[in-house]
């Protein structure tokens, strides 16, 4: 029965547009515990204090979802059909081109979970899109969706790394997948390309130096010594992904809600510099960029300019 249910779930996930679906047994992540605690003790989380809370739930989904037996990991492609012009421009991370992925993917996750309940029966669980203390990349790795690269992002040998991760943690017993083999080898392109030296060693990121953190999560002023290395980034950074050889396999997404609107696509540096709050709210309605708020984007523009 578990095989039939597993196939049912994976086929429906594909129908809903998910790029891949893998499943692992819900358990304590003993192998992640020491590394995560060491990372926190080094202060590499910056001001993201929420990462220090609920450590028990982050490492054991059975404490997050009591009675859970399976972690269903899913990926959703966001590699753009067309990149926004970067010459003479400020740069947004590709994941922020369109509507907020949290909302887009959560709707699909809820449909998948509803389908599971309708087809299989009384299943208890929860859906997650970067919304709770879930060790997403660890579960995606265990579920065979890819390996964790030296830039700490999940990489798939057929699809690269431009995809979001999401999970359904439930009390359904299913067939479990095997972890993917790490295929980074001796390559250090991501480490070498990082303009702020944020990748301190393989799979270890010092958020205090990471451009994505500095331009999104960071609520303080960007340190003067890092301003010259922002490379015109004002919301996130894709450099460590852009140089990754595996991303030559990235294929454009088919999600209409991830396509940037015409006004955003046509912005140039001078337009960004003159950006008013009213224009910001109009262009980025329903966008993840709203996370930085208008004041944050203006801070980033001043720091990069």
Q: What angle do CA 181, 186, 191 make, to 5 degrees?
A: 105
Which of 130, 171, 232, 242 is catalytic? The answer is 130
Q: How far is it, in rounded angstroms, from Cα 272 to Cα 301?
A: 8
Handedness of CA 279, 284, 288, 290 (dihedral sign): positive
Task: Decide if 34 is catalytic.
Answer: no
Whether 194 contacts 240, CB under 8 Å: yes
Whether 262 contacts 254, CB under 8 Å: no
Which residue matches tokens 């396509």?
Answer: 259
Q: How far is it, in rounded angstroms, from Cα 134 to Cα 167?
A: 9
Q: How far is it, in rounded angstroms, from Cα 283 to Cα 263?
A: 7
Whether 111 contacts 16, CB under 8 Å: yes
Tokens of 211: 């451009």
> Per this entry, what is the length of the chain?
305
Q: How far is it, in rounded angstroms, from Cα 100 to Cα 166?
A: 14
Tokens of 249: 């396999």
Q: How far is it, in rounded angstroms, from Cα 71 to Cα 176?
A: 9
Can you say how many angstroms the Cα of residue 300 is from the centroid of all Cα atoms in its chain? Answer: 21
Q: Which residues are the active-site residues?
A: 130
């Amino acid at each position: 029965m578990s095989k039939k249910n597993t196939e049912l779930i994976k086929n429906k996930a594909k129908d809903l547009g998910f790029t891949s679906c893998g499943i692992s047994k819900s358990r304590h992540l003993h192998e992640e515990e020491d590394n995560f605690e060491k990372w926190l003790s080094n202060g590499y989380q910056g001001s993201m204090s929420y990462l220090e809370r609920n450590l028990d739930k982050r490492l054991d989904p059975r404490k997050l979802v009591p009675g859970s037996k399976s972690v269903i990991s899913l990926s959703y492609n966001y590699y753009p059909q067309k990149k926004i012009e970067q010459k003479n421009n400020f740069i947004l991370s590709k994941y922020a081109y369109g509507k907020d992925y949290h909302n887009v993917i959560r709707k699909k996750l809820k449909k998948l979970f509803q389908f599971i309940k309708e087809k299989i029966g009384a299943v208890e669980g929860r859906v997650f899109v970067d919304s709770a203390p879930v060790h997403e990349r660890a579960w995606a790795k265990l579920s065979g969706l890819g390996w964790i690269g030296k830039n700490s992002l999940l990489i798939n040998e057929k699809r690269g790394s431009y995809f979001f991760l999401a999970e359904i943690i439930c009390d359904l017993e299913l067939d479990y997948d095997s972890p993917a083999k790490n295929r980074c080898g001796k390559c250090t392109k991501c480490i070498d390309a990082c303009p702020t030296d944020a990748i301190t060693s393989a799979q270890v990121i010092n958020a205090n130096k990471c451009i994505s953190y500095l331009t999104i999560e960071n609520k303080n002023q960007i340190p003067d010594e890092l301003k010259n290395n922002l490379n015109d980034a004002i919301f996130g950074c894709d450099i460590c992904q852009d140089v990754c050889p595996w991303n030559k396999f990235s294929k454009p997404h088919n999600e209409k809600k991830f396509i940037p609107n015409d006004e955003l696509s046509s912005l140039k540096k001078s337009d960004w510099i003159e950006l008013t709050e009213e224009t910001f709210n109009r262009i980025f309605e329903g966008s993840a960029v709203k996370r930085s708020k208008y004041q944050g984007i203006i801070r980033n523009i001043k720091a990069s300019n």
